[in-house]
Amino acid sequence: MTIAPEHNPVFARLGWRDRLGQSAPYLLVPVLIAAGFAAIGAPSSWLTLTVSGLAMGMMIFIMASGLTLVFGLMDVINFGHGAFISLGAYMGVSVLFWLSGWTEAASLALNVGAIGLAILAAMLFAGAVSWAFERTIVRPVYGSHLKQILITVGALIVLEQLIHVIWGAEEIFLLRPESLRGAVTFFGAALEKYRILAVVIGLGIFIAMRLVLRHTKIGLIVRAGVQNGEMVEALGYRLRLVFVGVFIAGSALAGLGGVMWALYEQVITAGMGENMMILIFIVVIIGGLGSVEGAFIGALLVGLLQNYVAFLEPKLALVSNIALMTAILMWRPQGMMPVVKAK
Amino acid sequence: MSDALLSLENIRTDIAQYHILKGVSFSVPRGQVTMLLGRNGVGKTTSLRTIMGLWQAKEGTLTFDGADITGAPISARARAGIGFVPEDMGIFGDLSVEENMVLAATNGMPDPARLEWLFSAFPALRTFWKSQAGALSGGQKQMLSIARAMIEDRKLYLIDEPTKGLAPAIISTMVGALRTLKQQGATVLMVEQNFSVAKALGDQAVVMDDGVVVWTGAMAELAESSALQERLMGLSMEAH
């Protein structure tokens, strides 16, 4: 056999500009946190806002992560994703009400157990509904963005109305479990216990997702499918089955995010998921389609910026995320870390 | 043909409003390298993509290893034993070389002995094993694309223009690897514009023009007759 003659390839060494360009998205979060410190001044306020922003960002990431993979894998635009947030929240809160004895007990174990069961129920419910949703709503409109938008918006409305039918049209208020009420003081800053828990759960889910995506065969198939689904099929994998699995898992995560958001806001409405979709789409777009890491960084930026701006200049809080999206898209028109580049 | 691994009978494929394949019929014998030749735009790539299921045949019958696969999904054709090296190489640029290879080993992890053989054929793959595939040069990507198809035994290899745009040194590496594959008795259907490469590797030749097969026969016969080449493909000896 001919061995490559005189073909001794090496990679060119990257310059510092290229290296900085590659790692720039990862630097944005610490840069924003540092900028927040400089702008706010008071360390205790800054710490409180930072933890609050990180908690908010983690919850948005949990809700957005499935959507970015669904975009990437099958080029499906699902405006109905918000319904799974609401459905998860209602199912989770129903379980928490049912376990009120556990949530009102002054026992951390019982409180966390109640939240764990609520999360489990929310994920199972949202996942089960999403399975039917994919079969009946999404599958017939593969390949047509306009039809996808129209039918998933319609389905979102129908599911919201079904929530009204089942749980009623009124807002439902709830209290956090006993052990998660109040705050702990850290260097003079009041840090809400629940927000700390949200950061821990969000970080745990991000690490778990990275582990699955980076170190398992199914993760490899998903990552490859986001880049070139046709080739994944040509290797012998049934991409549609993978897509259904990702769709269900992503919707279950949206349900989980719904429960966490419900406990964060301490009120739920049928339209809560729909309201969250604006932030979720911002996160998916600025992160780059198909990128879980991009969605994670984008969600943290959105959460932190909203909290800092709301403290510094409340009137600008509403537009801060749109401004963030505009700035990032001017810098990187396909988002920070796009996996899907040319669909 | 009784020993045909793959048969196309009157295959018609449309892309949008264009009729690309207008009744293609030919067979690929087992254990031989069949070259699919013809001028640009005559339907060679479309034929490979139709066999792989990436384009659906509108009419006709595709028989692979005795089974009708005309309507079979892409993944089923791959699992039936068809390995595909597309014209654009189909590399997963955000994955490492290792991940590209592991993904292609659909029956589990890559066989170490097979991997060693591929490393000996394509040493660059070992050098860049942990590197991102998107950062490889065109030639290295082509090597990866072919090695990926070879990571497991396939009954049939569909290879679309493996030497396109490559430097002569890399073409010789590629030809060496494909020759080894041929010596092992693999069945290959290859589209190739480089007639020297086609001549070096091919046992059979199928020549297409305007969406139909215009000539089939032994590669040696085509290689020997410049008049035939001129008539079928517009080639002259100066061109190769």
pLDDT computed for residue B165 by the predictor: 80
Nearest to B123 among A4, A11, A233 (CB): A4
pLDDT computed for residue A19 by the predictor: 73
CB contact under 8 A, B122 and A4: yes
Question: What is the C-alpha separation between A185 and A198, in angstroms, rounded?
Answer: 17
Give, as one character, the DSSP assignment of residue A206: H
pLDDT computed for residue B99 by the predictor: 95
CB contact under 8 A, B128 and A6: no
Concatenate the DSSP letters of all residues of A27-78 into one string.
HHHHHHHHHHHHHH--HHHHHHHHHHHHHHHHHHHHHHHHHHHHHHHH----
What's the CATH code of the domain at B166?
Answer: 3.40.50.300
Nearest CA in chain B to A1: B176
Residue B198 falls inside a structural domain: yes
Spell out the per-residue pLDDT of chain A, length 343, in tens.
444 444 555 555 667 777 777 788 999 999 999 999 999 989 999 999 999 999 999 999 999 998 998 888 778 899 999 999 999 999 999 999 999 999 999 899 999 999 999 999 999 999 999 999 999 999 999 888 899 999 999 999 999 999 999 999 999 999 999 999 989 998 888 999 999 999 999 999 999 999 999 999 999 999 999 889 999 999 999 998 999 999 999 999 999 999 999 999 999 999 999 999 999 999 999 999 889 999 999 999 999 999 999 999 998 988 999 999 999 999 999 999 988 654 4
Q: Does B102 touch chain A (CB under 8 A)?
A: yes
Tally of domains within chain B:
1
Interface residues from chain A to B (CB-CB < 8 Å) = 1-7, 9, 11, 217, 220-221, 223-224, 227-228, 230-239, 339
Residue B182 falls inside a structural domain: yes
CB contact under 8 A, A228 and B90: yes
Residue B107 falls inside a structural domain: no
What tokens does A268 get? 């739920």
Residue B15 falls inside a structural domain: yes
**Does the reported pTM lie above 0.90?**
no
Residue B102 falls inside a structural domain: no
- Which neighbouring-strand residues pair with B106? none
Spell out the domains of chain A, with CATH numbers in brackets: 55-331 (1.10.3470)
Q: Report the gap between the CA of A319 and the closest CA in chain B (Å).
A: 34
Residue B115 falls inside a structural domain: no
What tokens does B80 get? 């039936």
Nearest CA in chain A to B143: A4
Residue B152 falls inside a structural domain: no
Q: Which domain holds residue B38?
A: 4-93+160-239
CB contact under 8 A, A2 and B135: no
Question: What is the C-alpha separation between B200 and B177, in angstroms, rounded?
Answer: 12
Residue B169 falls inside a structural domain: yes
